[in-house]
């Protein structure tokens, strides 16, 4: 086997190793994306609330 193939094969544990890397990557991405989306929703709601209050004055 070439060195790249043996690296990717991980001594027979490739499925477990690469799935762990993949799951970790997904969790890290979600830890960035979800708070950003939540922040956008919060500011949209805040703007709508401010517009509603200013209309009632």
Residue ranges of domains in the chain: 3-56
pLDDT of residue 31: 98
Q: What is the mean pLDDT of the chain?
A: 92
pLDDT at 30 over 80: yes
Cβ–Cβ under 8 Å, residues 9 and 1: yes
Judge if pTM exceeds 0.75: no
d(CA 15, CA 17): 6
Percentage helix, strand, coil, to 5, in the chain? 95, 0, 5
d(CA 24, CA 17): 11
pLDDT of residue 11: 85
User: Can you list the positions of beta strands (E) in the chain?
Assistant: none
């Amino acid at each position: 086997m070439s060195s790249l193939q043996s690296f990717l094969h991980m001594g027979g544990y490739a499925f477990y190793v690469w799935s762990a890397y993949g799951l970790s990557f997904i969790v890290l991405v979600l830890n960035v994306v979800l708070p950003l989306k939540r922040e956008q929703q919060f500011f949209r709601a805040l703007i709508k609330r401010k517009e509603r209050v200013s209309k009632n004055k």
